[in-house]
Amino acid sequence: MPESEVNSPVGSRAGSWAEAAERIGADLHLELSRTGSRRAALLTALRDAVRGGRLAPGTRLPPYRSLAADLGLARNTVADAYAELVAEGWLTARQGSGTRVAERAAPANPPRVPKKSPALPAPAPRHDLRQGTPDASSFPRAAWLTSARRALNAAPNEAFGPGDPQGRIELRTALAAYLARARGVYTDPERVVVCSGFAHALRLLFGGGVLRGPLAVESYGLGFHRSLLQAAGVRTVPLGLDEDGARTEELASLTGGVRAVLLTPAHQFPTGGPLHPARRAAAVDWARGRGGLVLEDDYDGEFRYDREPVGAVQGLDPARVLYLGSVSKSLSPAVRLGWMVLPEHLVEPVLTAKGEREAWASVLDQLTLADFLASGAYDRHVRHMRQRYRRRRDRLVAALADRAPHIQPTGIAAGLHAVLRLPPGTEASTVKAATWQGIALDGLAAFRHPSATMPHRDGLVVGYATPPDHAYGAALEALCRALPPGGPDRAT
């Protein structure tokens, strides 16, 4: 043996391991089982090579095209195997660095384990990139406390008695003024009914017997809302979606007694984008001709970044559009306040469904929100958060452009989340990979109506509002590590 090898220090030996890793990456010498599927055989061979130490941590694997040619496999077979092993934690994929054996992979000469050992549990999430919640640390505590003190000092004694089911007149007056100014809603305080949020509004309208199904809905939306409607005996009928929002022209062809449609016209949830003006008009015309209703969920209408504000559909026909809103996105879901702007003929039925006394929305919070709106504090908070969320959105877009330029973010002109379009067939494995990176998020398929017929496009729904500022950069790094690699070897 050469003297240089006999006397080589540990550091030199580490360097030789790195060089060997690169050489192994060029020619894996994998032997695939002749039984079962080729994909399963490749997965087993790669796991065994890592588990046995032949593929050391940091080893760079060949591109899909090269390995597929060496083994006589389809490129998609190799790509899918790589993606699954990334999801399981055996491999990592990073734009510009290729696919490598994970540093956390099993060491050489591992202890023998039974073949049917249970799978390792996924790590607890460290980064919350789920949609639906604002930045809790940004709640305007000082301004809210100021409004609370002012509202309590000004409140009449009767405000501390049994609550009015319609809501405090102070809040209904402030809401009517704000919604007219900021969202183009046409109303007066007598047609506003306070509730505890959007879900409560649905329970009152359908569970309380004010409206009956079936109900047309968008093909993608919150499964929780569909479950709530199903529990009330309401059948939901999905409408198609495209880049212009819900295909409301399909309403005219619906049968089975559909006389109401639920829409998110300001920013379709979760795919993003406003409802096209022609489709807004088509929905209202359909409601007029059918003697029906449009239910407008204006869940984050205040947050827009790259486009002019889109007013509420309700302004087109207040008699045929039922407007629903809340402070769950703009302030906090903990405040538990929402509102319904009702056609006049529905006010009494909704109040009957609520009962004689307010049992849901705190009168003290109602008075505080009324002052918060009337004093201008709400407008200042929304403007501040719009800038804050825009910076968050921009950091996400920049991270993708730098680390995963093949992944396209969509629906980013407004709202608190983005949809990342993925290569076909990679959504499930990418969600799993995100879990192993300590990220909590959802795939687009989680929001798909079970009866939808439109083709599904793989994607991730990434909320960028929730992580605190100090952890947001690490969350984006982890997200980029979980994304499927791009390049010419990846089918799209």
Q: Are strands 408-410 and 417-421 parallel, antiparallel or unpaired?
A: antiparallel
For 191-220, what is the mean pLDDT?
95
Last residue of one domain, picked from the residues 321, 342, 375: 375
Together in a domain, 260 and 320? yes
Residues 347 and 430 in one domain: no
Inside any domain, residue 2? no
Q: Is residue 145 part of a domain?
A: no
Q: Which of 375, 409, 434 is the last residue of a domain?
A: 375
For 294, phi then psi, to 5°, come to -105, 125
Q: Per residue in 222-260, is it b (16+ CB within 10 Å) or e — as a string? A: beebbebbeebebebbbbebeeebbbbebbeebeeebbb
Say how many domains are in the chain.
Answer: 3
Name residue 296's beta-bridge partners: 263, 323
CA distances, 10 to each of 13, 16, 20, 102, 103 (Å) = 5, 10, 15, 22, 19
Q: What is the pLDDT of residues 143-168, one digit of tens each?
A: 999 999 999 999 999 999 988 999 99
d(CA 327, CA 335): 7
Task: Indicate if 78 and 185 belong to the same structural domain.
Answer: no
Closest CA to 206 of 231, 187, 173: 231
Strands 241-242 and 245-246: antiparallel
Are residues 465 and 363 both part of a single domain? no
249 is a domain residue:
yes
Residue 241 sits in the same domain as residue 180? yes
State whether 56 and 191 are in the same domain: no
273 & 352 share domain: yes
CA 3 to chain centre: 61
Q: Which DSSP string corresponds to 283-352?
A: HHHHHHHHT-EEEEE-TTTT-BSSS-----GGGG-TTTEEEEEESTTTT-GGG--EEEE--GGGHHHHHH
Rounded to an integer, what distance in angstroms lies between the CA atom of residue 263 and that of residue 241? 11
414: DSSP letter: B
Residue 108 lies in a domain: no
**Can you say whether the dihedral through the CA atoms of 466, 467, 469, 472 is positive or negative?**
negative
Alpha-carbon Rg for the chain, nearest whole angstrom, is 28
- For the cut 60, the answer to whether the pLDDT of residue 18 exceeds it is no
Could you tell me if residue 8 is inside a domain? no
Give me the phi and psi of 323, to 5 degrees please.
-95, 130
Q: Are residues 245 and 346 in the same domain?
A: yes
Cα separation, 434 vs 441, whole angstroms: 8
Token output for 439:
């990220």
* CATH code of 289's domain: 3.40.640.10
Q: What are the tens digits of pLDDT across the range 423-473?
A: 999 999 999 999 999 999 999 999 999 999 999 999 999 999 999 889 999
Give the residue numbers spanning the domain of 50: 17-101
Domain-embedded: residue 76:
yes
Residue 111's nearest CA partner among 69, 52, 179 is: 52
Q: Which range (107-111, 212-216, 459-463) has the least confidence?
A: 107-111
CATH number at residue 82: 1.10.10.10
Is residue 465 domain-shared with residue 343, that is, in the same domain?
no
Residues 6+ apart with CB under 8 A from 434: 129, 441, 460, 478, 479, 482
| Residue 348: pLDDT over 90 | yes
Domain of 419, CATH number, reads 3.90.1150.10
Res 20: pLDDT: 39
| Span between the terminal Cα atoms of the chain, in Å | 51
Q: What is the DSSP letter of 490?
A: S
Torsion, CA 31, CA 36, CA 37, CA 43, rounded to 10: -50
In angstroms, the CA 312 to CA 346 distance is: 19
Residue 415 shares a structural domain with residue 360: no
Classify residue 120: in a domain, yes or no: no
Please say which residue of 319, 342, 375 terminates a domain.
Answer: 375
Q: Compare 3 and 463 and report the one with higher pLDDT.
A: 463
* Amino acid letter for position 342: L
Give mean pLDDT, residues 201-229.
Answer: 94
Same domain, 24 and 97: yes
Do 371 and 419 share a domain, yes or no? Answer: no
**When comparing pLDDT for 158 and 104, which is higher?**
158
